[in-house]
Amino acid sequence: MTEVLEQNKIAGAVLDVFEKEPLPKDHPFWTTPNLLMTFHTSAPSLPEDIAKLFIENYKLFNEGKPLMYQVDFERGY
């Protein structure tokens, strides 16, 4: 995967699930250009569910409180 992205054989990729999670910090996916990794969000998402979450996080953000469902970069996901 990294090779085809680095050589621009494909424009980009989005990956969601990996054999080993979280990925090791030295895994090449972390630095591969045009590669996006999600945190198990490839399931269908309904707009009304996403809107509710966005609104709640917006309120929390404005109140200076921690947001829900943040990516934990220390843990790698």
Calculate the dihedral angle through the C-alpha atoms of 47, 53, 57, 59, rounding to the nearest 10 degrees: 90
∠69-70-72 over CA atoms, to 5°? 125
Q: Is the pTM of this model over 0.75?
A: no
pLDDT digits (tens, 9 = 90+) for 29-64: 999 999 998 877 666 778 988 899 999 999 999 999
Residue 19: pLDDT band (50, 70, 90) is confident
- Residue 23 predicted with pLDDT over 90: no
**pLDDT at position 42:** 63
Q: What is the mean pLDDT of residues 5-15?
A: 92
Q: What is the mean pLDDT of residues 7-22?
A: 89
**pLDDT at position 72:** 77
- Residue 10 predicted with pLDDT over 70: yes
